[in-house]
Amino acid sequence: MNCRSEVLEVTVEARQVEEAMLALLHTILLHRSTGKFHYKKEGTYSIGTVGTLDFDCDFIDFTFVRVSSEELDRVIRKAVSEFKDALSNSGSDGMGQISLEFYQKKKSRWPFSDECIPWEVWSIKVNVVNLANEQERQICREKVGEKLGEKVINVVEVINRHEYLPKMPTQSEVDNVFDTSLKDVQPYLYKITYQITDSLGTSVSTTMRRLIKDTLAL
């Protein structure tokens, strides 16, 4: 199947990177998480409830809604924090990309490991700028807030096109479709990766990853 891929692009100040990424990643995950499944006899299951929480950004004039799950928030924050550190340490122009990929696992026979088949990939391109004075920062605060609002609308439009979603799995298959490790919510299986574009415009890590993938793909 073709994997649906969406790209979002934002231009932010260095201190806004973290919150901008959190806003977009959490908005996507809000739509791609369900309550916990509890399988019962006779092939029925019940679904838990997803709570939501409004989060005010400190460096951006923006509020977003995220899933009310501290565990999930921790995982996302850790990934975003790594991305932010990589971005600031890279010495590049401050361009990078963080990707949120939803995938399904397909069991393969031994000795081959399980295949991960992505069905939706969100790429968020980040462009970091440096601002000279407080007045510009204030304008940036509001502008970035507006831009993030537009991105949320884009996300919502894409998601509501109702294109492919994995079908609801049986109990034995649930770990191939959902991430069941969290206590209170159940997002679709996802992984977050990032890459930093160096000043030459080429992405070093992507090249490496492609090489490795190609080698192992047999």
Partner 1 sequence: MDSDLSPQDKKDLDKFIKFFALKTVQVIVQARLGEKICTRSSSSPTGSDWFNLAIKDIPEVTHEAKKALAGQLPGIGRSMCVEISLKTCDKDIKVSYTVYNRLSVLLKSLLAITRVTPAYKLSRKQGHDYVILYRIYFGEVQLSGLGEGFQTVRVGVVGTPVGTVTLSCAYRTNLAFMSNRQFERSAPIMGIIVDHFVDPPCSSQRPANMGQPCNYRAPDEEDGGTFAGVQDSQEVCTTSFSTSPPSQVLHAGKEGGVVLVPAQPPHGADAHITVEHAPNTPSSSGDDDGLSQSAEGRRDEGRRSVSPADPVESLSAFTRKVGAFVNKPSTQVSNILTSLDLPFAAFAPRGLDSEENDPMVQPPDSPPCPSPLQASLHSQGSEGSGQQDDFVMVDFRPAFSKDDLLPMDLGTFYREFQNPPQLASLSLHISSQSMADDLDSLPEKLRVYEKNIDEFDAFVDMLQ
Single out the segment in contact with partner 1 by CB under 8 A; choices: 14-22, 107-115, 135-143, 200-208.
Answer: 135-143
Closest to 76 (Cα-Cα) out of 184, 208, 172, 190: 190
Q: By CB under 8 A, is residue 139 in contact with partner 1?
A: yes
Q: What is the per-residue binding string for partner 1 in 35-64, x denoting contact by CB under 8 A?
A: xx-x-x-xxxxxxxxxxxxxxx----x-xx
**Which of residues 138 and 199 has its CB atom nearest to partner 1 in the complex?**
138
**Which of residues 118 and 169 has its CB atom nearest to partner 1 in the complex?**
169
Rounded Cα–Cα distance for residues 140 and 34 (Å): 35
Single out the segment in contact with partner 1 by CB under 8 A; choices: 82-90, 97-105, 106-114, 148-156.
Answer: 148-156
Token pair belonging to 106: 């397909």
Rounded Cα–Cα distance for residues 205 and 197 (Å): 9
Q: E strands along 89-151, which residues?
A: 95-106, 115-129
Token pair belonging to 69: 């799950």
Among 34, 81, 123, 193, binds partner 1 (CB under 8 A): 34
DSSP helix/strand/coil, 37: strand
Residue 178 DSSP code? B
Please state whether beta strands 115-129 and 4-13 pair in parallel, antiparallel, or not at all (unpaired).
parallel
DSSP helix/strand/coil, 58: coil
**Which of residues 87 and 179 has its CB atom nearest to partner 1 in the complex?**
179
**# chain residues binding partner 1, by CB under 8 A:** 55
Q: List residues near partner 1 by CB under 8 A.
A: 27, 30-31, 34-36, 38, 40, 42-56, 61, 63-65, 67-69, 134-135, 138-139, 149, 152-153, 155-157, 159-160, 162-171, 183-185
